[in-house]
Chain A
């Protein structure tokens, strides 16, 4: 442990690690790093090394924890025993429990929780090496892991801290600033600009606080850019499906015939719809998809007589009925619970 430095900012306005007061530490991240997790992210921010993973939405046990109208989000912030100078005892502490809670609450506003009633989304943030600002680093990583897992969200969450040293506000505290500074204000901001986490300890004036938020917003904006870039890098690289040359013709023939029969299917479908007066638009779309799939199966077998294909289409209204019933049920349940 180093002792308190005499000065945090030199005459050139540079900090101990050579950054300007409004500069964040270098950050890099990578997503999809763990094969078992539904989504994951490894993030390095300065000397912080964070690994985050998302599991879910998945079934929640025990059932009494289930929420009837939304998904339950669980967030576990955990520091590895070897992540800091003096080994820390593994397992939850009062500090990590609190951080886990506020971090979870930083995500609840953006996750579309109503989509998965009764389920759980587990977010695990592991601090493998800590060097000031781990909770914000963990949030940045968790945000990416959630996106990587394909969890429906209104936007990403970015987090950063502002602190005060030598009477001056600084963005993204380093270790010395964190240990000996006069204030520490970690904040998480959604991509819509809402603050979903804010904590503070230390001593700042109202004026300073206002400025701190502005600085933090700017920091988070930069982080958001890095996050977006990371996502783009992964998801714009689509795997091309290679079709062996000798099969190429078969495939295009299949596609063509599928399209034609889908059209036919639609025509039949329309007639059916007219008969069923209260059929809804939504369900029609769903059924169209079903038609295509069914026909595709039919096409696979080479000598399918035309009538048979028609049969498949005609059999469809039964699908429709089932679908609608299924759709209605959850709504009923919801009303009951309300």
Chain B
């Protein structure tokens, strides 16, 4: 998060800790902060999840509406993901239309879900070429202490898992559960002086040269990836990041998603 103000001393501190193989909060490089995930927290949403990753808090709501399909995919439902970096979440966030940071993160979360085929979009078609279900995934960031991306992605899939297609309410047949086929999970790593640290906190995020987010699926395949920040990664770093991310993703899936 580029605009977070941080002193040179703090940067030095984080960097020097890294040289000793340590992190500010005592985690190891491959350790994710504690997660608290609750679903169905908003009764009026078709699906919802509240997630706390460390102190980062995010609320994801899923709403469905009837609308028209895109011409090139007449028989498929539509996914629209948006993220608001709400000013409630950090002294550095300002109200107003989403800026590039929010748009980027929303799109990464969106691609993870879309590209993995997590939602069976063909089942969200009502009348081909005319009416389909539009799935709105709204990501509301409530408190930012770093790594919004992973919390948002995990929250989004959790919210989708609990979502119901409101057929009765909209007069389009019976209610049905959201047709979910996969559980993509994003894991972000920060490159700090060549070391890759999983789930960067705010300080690490600010200090790091770049971040890489990897979205992986149940079968270990990767459905999304994004490098962010002005640094570059070596091939070795990248490969290490991918394998670590997949490993962590499957842990997350097992611990938090499979029991929803």
Partner of B42, one of A36, A82, A91: A82
Contact with A along B59-77 (1 / 0, CB 8 A): 1011101000000000000
Query: Quick check: is B205 within 8 A (CB to CB) of the other chain?
Result: no
Docked complex Cα distance between A122 and B92 (Å): 12
Contact A126-B63, Cβ < 8 Å, known A82-B42, A90-B84: no
Q: What 4 A-B pairs have minimum CB-CB distances, sorted nearest first?
A: A82-B61, A87-B63, A82-B45, A81-B138
Query: Quick check: is B110 within 8 A (CB to CB) of the other chain?
Result: no
Query: Quick check: is B43 within 8 A (CB to CB) of the other chain?
Result: yes
| Chain B contacts for A35, CB-based, 8 A | 55, 143, 145
Contact with B along A88-103 (1 / 0, CB 8 A): 0011100000000000
Query: Quick check: is B89 within 8 A (CB to CB) of the other chain?
Result: yes
| Chain A contacts for B86, CB-based, 8 A | 78, 124, 126
Docked complex Cα distance between A174 and B14 (Å): 52
Partner of B142, one of A51, A82, A129: A51
Question: Are A37 and B88 within 8 A (Cβ)?
Answer: yes
Contact A34-B57, Cβ < 8 Å, known A81-B63, A82-B42: yes
Partner of B63, one of A52, A82, A92, A131: A82
Task: Using CB atoms, name the residue of chain B closest to A38.
Answer: B91
Shortest Cβ gap from A72 to chain B (Å): 15
Contact with A along B77-100 (1 / 0, CB 8 A): 000001010111111000111000
Docked complex Cα distance between A90 and B89 (Å): 16
Question: Are B59 and A80 within 8 A (Cβ)?
Answer: yes
Partner of A80, one of B61, B91, B143, B144: B61
Q: How many residue pairs bridge A and B at CB < 8 Å?
A: 88
Query: Quick check: is B140 within 8 A (CB to CB) of the other chain?
Result: yes
Contact with A along B146-175 (1 / 0, CB 8 A): 000000000000000000000001000000
Question: Are B43 and A129 within 8 A (Cβ)?
Answer: yes
Question: Are B55 and A76 within 8 A (Cβ)?
Answer: no
Question: Are A34 and B143 within 8 A (Cβ)?
Answer: yes
| Chain A contacts for B65, CB-based, 8 A | 86-87
Docked complex Cα distance between A251 and B89 (Å): 40
Query: Quick check: is B256 within 8 A (CB to CB) of the other chain?
Result: no
| Chain B contacts for A92, CB-based, 8 A | 95
Question: Are A81 and B82 within 8 A (Cβ)?
Answer: yes
| Chain A contacts for B48, CB-based, 8 A | 82
Query: Quick check: is B44 within 8 A (CB to CB) of the other chain?
Result: yes
| Chain B contacts for A36, CB-based, 8 A | 55, 89-91, 143-145
Contact A55-B91, Cβ < 8 Å, known A47-B43, A81-B82, A87-B136: yes
| Chain B contacts for A144, CB-based, 8 A | none
| Chain B contacts for A52, CB-based, 8 A | 88
Question: Are B42 and A126 within 8 A (Cβ)?
Answer: no
| Chain B contacts for A34, CB-based, 8 A | 57, 88-89, 142-143
| Chain B contacts for A78, CB-based, 8 A | 86, 95
Question: Are A53 and B45 within 8 A (Cβ)?
Answer: no
Docked complex Cα distance between A193 and B65 (Å): 45
| Chain A contacts for B140, CB-based, 8 A | 80-81, 126, 128
Contact A80-B90, Cβ < 8 Å, known A86-B65, A90-B82: no
**Between-chain CB contacts (< 8 Å), 15 pairs:** A34-B143, A35-B145, A36-B90, A36-B144, A76-B95, A78-B95, A80-B138, A81-B136, A82-B42, A82-B45, A86-B63, A86-B65, A87-B65, A128-B59, A130-B44
Partner of A129, one of B42, B96, B136: B42
Shortest Cβ gap from A55 to chain B (Å): 5
